[in-house]
Amino acid sequence: MKFDTPATINPIDRLKVVGQPHDRIEGPLKTTGTARYAYERHDAVPDHAYGYIVPATIAKGRVVAIDTSRAKAAPGVLAVVTAKEAGHLPKGQFNTANLLGGPDIQHYHQALAVVVAETFEQARAAAGLVRVNYARTPGTFDLAAAKGAAVKPADGDPDTAVGDFAGAYAAAPVKLDATYTTPDHSHAMMEPHASIAAWEGDKLTLWTSNQMINWGKGDVAKTLGLPPENVRLISPYVGGGFGGKLFVRADALLAALGAKAAKRPVAVALPRPLIANNTTHRPATIQRIRIGATPDGKITAIGHESWSGDLPGGGPETAVSQTRLLYAGANRMTATRLATLDLPEGNAMRAPGEASGLMALEIAIDELAEKLKLDPIDFRVLNDTQVDPEKPERPFSQRNFVQCMRRGAEQFGWQQRSATPGARRDGRWLLGMGVASAFRNNLVMKSAARVRLGKDGRATVETDMTDIGTGSYTVIAQTAAEMLGLPLSKVTVLLGDSSFPVSSGSGGQWGGNSSTSGVYAACVKLREAVAGKLGLDPASAVFEDGKVTAGGHSLPLMQATMGGELVAEDSMEYGDLEKKFQQSTFGAHFVEVGVDAATGEIRVRRMLAVCAAGRILNPKSARSQVIGAMTMGVGAALMEELVVDKRLGFFVNHDLAGYEVPVHADIPHQDVVFLDETDPMSSPMKAKGVGELGICGVAAAVANAVYNATGVRVRDYPVTLDKLLDKLPAV
């Protein structure tokens, strides 16, 4: 099925099941520990051995010699695989560095070997016996120092320009020119990367933890030189990914290599201390923002430049992308520059681009509003645009951004904020409020599904879609239930298996809308088959309460399967509606902080997000996603920083003791409001995504609240007390 004209009224609009706040259908499995994650599949692979990865302990250079003899002789060891044994393996399409390094070493903690043994402890002990002699070569590890040599990246739009930015900025009566920095971030998902590999002849099965099953299947096949049909990935439960599991990583490849060498299935998990440097991260940025405005607050010039770094062959953090679309202004420019760094591989992390970009842009907007003596909400509202500012002939499909700001201000009690920083106190706490815009583009991806209607009256959906904690199982079940007129309890959803039809996968907040649209397409086909069996007109048939009604006749749905199961498979693909209409999601984040006047300790007291993101398929799981994203945004604001050792080239704080993230207890009150909105340009579901919108702008709202509390403007994240302490108002 192709989606190329705006959605009209369809069965989803009945909202009997879709749009209702349902518990996660797989929730009981997860809360009782019976949902098995990749590393726990002893049920499917009872006889597997364990692999342990030997990582490089230099950032750049060569392996001169690698001595595995003591490891091979250690108790329980079945095999040791290095690049010497494996041969030179091509990289996958999505990897910048080789998952198995050696002799060349591209980054710290790049995997150099896997040691396979009967038990985990034996594998770990033997891995410690592998001796590697290195020849270290100097590397580049400091973004600030490498910035001058940064170049235009090969892909994307490294430079954009509309009107005369330089002229308009120079002439602007009120202006801001400020530079902000964001550090490297680690995904820090709960479930570490893990895989179990099993070979049957030249066919490989991987139980793994991955967001994008079909990408992973292709990459494993390419790396191992297998036909894709010989590779099967199984990933029904994923304990968080945030972009860190968009691509297969060393655990999957080394489990496969280890299993081949040991002639046994092998399980490999990345130990937590390996994840920060072995896998991908959100790259640090340096961002310069210049905005010029009229005295009454109309933006006349807006410019955003961003520098980030990556390994050779890598890409930039696209931190300027929202600035092209968020605010009006006739004269505009953006520039993206990429430095070569020898740090671990940078890549997508939750709202790649916008999350980092808004961390800077939304402080800049706060700063300029203050210069203009405007309320920061009024300033944003004044510069709203209903069209793509670069292409005014191109409207937004929906843009209820102003409504998010206004609704949030009312609900949060924004009028209690003092425009003068440092003016509100609660005992020793300085109180402040901050606001920021949330913006993230809406992406759609082709997605397929198969739906079976059994003789028992149950519908079963099969698709290789993943549920990374987002609620995919539930929204997919809701979609099938709505389409077939069944209760949710009559729908089974099977996900995360590459033997199922290829879905959108989970990424870029496209998964919920795209995968349910694929299920919608398959259900349309199944409804036709059902109507055909019942002799009813498929176009007018209504599926409701287990019955199909058309032309005055009403028949039980189950009558259609008397002759056996009915099966339908289809996909949803997209025409050019996203070219004709700019499709984005919007929101407003509100934060209240208390800052200890003596110590500078920052505590988030309250948060509110108001989101406009099309139809909300399941308000309960969507709320949970946004609350998670808000929490993650607080991490970016106040805690998270992969600290770079600029001499040796690695992330120093590579575990959860040193890389801190917020927990529930850190933020007592969080609330989420979804505006009642549908977007018929987006898909037949009229939905968009919220999983990434939720983090966009949060950190800036926190930083702005800290400024409002203290009068101290911190432009270098994270906003930690050492950056406030000597500037706090006298107690």
Tokens of 92: 């996958």
Among candidate residues 209, 367, 284, the one with its CA nearest the CA of residue 712: 367
Q: Is 677 within 8 Å of 615 (Cβ atoms)?
A: yes
DSSP state of 665: G
The answer to whether 649 contacts ligand MOS (rule: CB under 6 A) is no
Place of tokens 């706490």: 429
CB of residue 416 vs ligand MOS: minimum separation in angstroms?
Answer: 35
CB of residue 171 vs ligand MOS: minimum separation in angstroms?
Answer: 39
Binding marks (x or -) toward ligand MOS, 503..532, rule CB under 6 A? ----xx------------------------
The answer to whether 129 contacts ligand MOS (rule: CB under 6 A) is no
Q: Helix, strand, or coil here: 187?
A: coil
Q: Helix, strand, or coil here: 206?
A: strand
Binding segment (CB under 6 A) for ligand MOS, from list 237-245, 404-412, 449-457, 482-490: 237-245
In the complex with ligand MOS, which residue's Cβ is closer, 92 or 241?
241
Q: Helix, strand, or coil here: 382?
A: helix
CB of residue 617 vs ligand MOS: minimum separation in angstroms?
Answer: 18
CB of residue 241 vs ligand MOS: minimum separation in angstroms?
Answer: 6
CB of residue 691 vs ligand MOS: minimum separation in angstroms?
Answer: 8
Q: Helix, strand, or coil here: 447?
A: strand
Sole binder of ligand MOS in the list 239, 241, 314, 329 (CB under 6 A): 241
Burial letters 70-99, b for 16+ CB under 10 A, else e: ebeebebbbbbbbbeebeebeebebbbbbb
Non-local CB neighbours of 201 within 8 Å, separated by 6+ positions: none
Pairing status of strand 602-612 against strand 669-674: parallel
In the complex with ligand MOS, which residue's Cβ is closer, 258 or 511?
511
Among candidate residues 211, 223, 279, 278, the one with its CA nearest the CA of residue 256: 223
Q: What is the DSSP string of 701-724?
A: HHHHHHHHHHS----BSS--GGGT
What are the distances in angstroms from CA 46 to CA 114, 196, 265, 696? 21, 11, 9, 43
> What whole-number distance in Å separates Cα of residue 204 and Cα of residue 301?
56
DSSP state of 147: G
In the complex with ligand MOS, which residue's Cβ is closer, 468 or 568?
468
**Residues 396-415, interacting with ligand MOS (CB under 6 A):** none
In the complex with ligand MOS, which residue's Cβ is closer, 349 or 637?
349
Binding segment (CB under 6 A) for ligand MOS, from list 15-23, 227-235, 236-244, 269-277: 236-244
Pairing status of strand 602-612 against strand 584-596: antiparallel
In the complex with ligand MOS, which residue's Cβ is closer, 432 or 635?
635
Q: Is 289 within 8 Å of 360 (Cβ atoms)?
A: yes
In the complex with ligand MOS, which residue's Cβ is closer, 55 or 316?
316
CB of residue 336 vs ligand MOS: minimum separation in angstroms?
Answer: 17
CB of residue 379 vs ligand MOS: minimum separation in angstroms?
Answer: 30
> What whole-number distance in Å separates Cα of residue 705 and Cα of residue 699?
10
Strand ranges, E, within 238-298: 266-269, 285-293
Among candidate residues 674, 678, 682, 681, the one with its CA nearest the CA of residue 14: 678
Residue nearest to ligand MOS (CB): 243
> What whole-number distance in Å separates Cα of residue 692 and Cα of residue 510?
9
Of the residues 26, 592, 641, 692, which is catalytic? 692
Reported as type and span, the H/E element at residue 214 is helix 213-224
Place of tokens 């039809």: 501
CB of residue 56 vs ligand MOS: minimum separation in angstroms?
Answer: 26
CB of residue 573 vs ligand MOS: minimum separation in angstroms?
Answer: 20
In the complex with ligand MOS, which residue's Cβ is closer, 356 or 682?
356
The answer to whether 211 contacts ligand MOS (rule: CB under 6 A) is yes
CB of residue 246 vs ligand MOS: minimum separation in angstroms?
Answer: 5
Q: What SS3 string covers 530-579?
A: HHHHHCCCCCCCEEECCEEEECCEEEEHHHHHCCCCEEEEEEEEECCHHH
The answer to whether 246 contacts ligand MOS (rule: CB under 6 A) is yes
Q: What is the DSSP string of 449-487?
A: EEEEE-TTS-EEEE-----SSS-HHHHHHHHHHHHHT--
In the complex with ligand MOS, which residue's Cβ is closer, 491 or 626?
626
Question: Would you give the end-to-end CA distance of the chain in angstroms?
Answer: 66
In the complex with ligand MOS, which residue's Cβ is closer, 187 or 424?
187
What Rg value do the Cα atoms of the chain yield, rounded? 27
Q: Is 693 within 8 Å of 629 (Cβ atoms)?
A: yes
What are the distances in angstroms from CA 207 to CA 200, 265, 512? 14, 11, 23
CB of residue 629 vs ligand MOS: minimum separation in angstroms?
Answer: 11
Q: Is 696 within 8 Å of 351 (Cβ atoms)?
A: yes
Q: Is 602 within 8 Å of 431 (Cβ atoms)?
A: no
Active site residue 692: yes
DSSP state of 244: T
Sole binder of ligand MOS in the list 55, 61, 243, 346 (CB under 6 A): 243
Binding marks (x or -) toward ligand MOS, 335..374, rule CB under 6 A? -------------xxx-x----------------------
Size of the residue set binding ligand MOS (CB under 6 A): 11
In the complex with ligand MOS, which residue's Cβ is closer, 342 or 692?
692
In the complex with ligand MOS, which residue's Cβ is closer, 242 or 473?
242
Q: Helix, strand, or coil here: 424?
A: strand
In the complex with ligand MOS, which residue's Cβ is closer, 570 or 692?
692
Binding marks (x or -) toward ligand MOS, 446..475, rule CB under 6 A? ------------------------------
CB of residue 625 vs ligand MOS: minimum separation in angstroms?
Answer: 12
Q: What is the DSSP string of 123-143?
A: HHHHHTT-EEEEEE------H
Non-local CB neighbours of 539 within 8 Å, separated by 6+ positions: none
- Interacting residues toward ligand MOS by CB under 6 A: 211, 241-243, 246, 348-350, 352, 507-508
Residues with a known catalytic role: 692
